[in-house]
Structure 1
Amino acid sequence: MSKKIKKTLVDQDYHNEFYQFKPQSEVSPSHRVDQIILEQVACDLAPSNLSIFIKLLLIQGVVGILTMLFCPQFDLSLTNRYELFHFFHRTFGHYGCMAICGSLFIGSGAAVASIILTHVELIRICHFRFSYYLAISGCAITSFMIISPQAYLDLAAIWYLGATVGGISMIELGKQLRQLQPATP
């Protein structure tokens, strides 16, 4: 049998299969299935602030622990290197160092979050950015005060400010960079 005849027979089989399928494709899903699908689409298009905050907090927690492995502050550092820490202190003073540390700590989590979270979630975070990052920074500094209660209020306030600004800046930058990427098919 020639290739042309085989192709014609295969095309006819697909054609017949399609016409057998077509009347069945007009069957509507049950009301329950329809509702479940609509609810899922609604959740995907408008996720709740709580679900986004929990995701953001989990991402920040993981990235924060990884960040602490390089920071000598709480004796968790794998490197036990103080050069960068001392450089920040000498160059920017205590307050500048605290602002930079907060910015690096929360900003690194925000950068990772801008990669992991969906575009819709990023837009929502950027819309309520101050609320999200004031809360995330507050959770972080509260955790630090529980771990090491000898924190100084003025330095903690500067760290909090740097963390909030760093988080907002990095999530906004991440959103902008994602908008520059071409859409995937």
Structure 2
Amino acid sequence: MLAEVRACTICECHLPLGSRPVLQLHPKAKILIAGQAPGRKAHDSGVPFDDASGKRLREWLGMTREVFYDPELIAILPMSFCFPGTSASGDVPPRSECAAVWHRQLMAQLCHLELTLVLGQYAQAHHFGETGSSLTERVKSWRTYWPHMIPLPHPSPRNNHWIRRNPWFEIELLPSLRERVSEILI
């Protein structure tokens, strides 16, 4: 199935760089990173989170690059598998085709998940539903979803201002998240 997903061209005509699905999956994965869409650098390399966002995410998780890219430990399933393009304010929102066509089948393969990290507003809307909560409200209520799901802001450097405005994120949530990740991966 993964080969079929990587060959997908469903929305190719809408993508500025064409289709190049970028994801990481293995049925043994224990942690799922449910993201939004690959960035330009991930599109170019074919490696998810192969950019500053990935570096920050690995720091948040207290995880080495080797562990992060071990598909038997970490699954990375974005809402949209291909780079959607950019706008004046950053990357455009993820396209909806991937989630509609592939997510249910791929999620059914992940039988050993112990933790799902839901990054950014688009992934959160998909995984938590449209609750009317803002990203900040949802992330602040992370204990509600603990210990199996954790909403997080996107680790993009564009979110530096959000992180500075919400010091509780680094003081309260991140230490608990690192501890949970460590428990799972031992």
Higher strand residue share? 2
Higher helix residue share? 1
Same fold (TM > 0.5): no
Q: TM-score, normalised by structure 1?
A: 0.22
Q: TM-score, normalised by structure 2?
A: 0.22
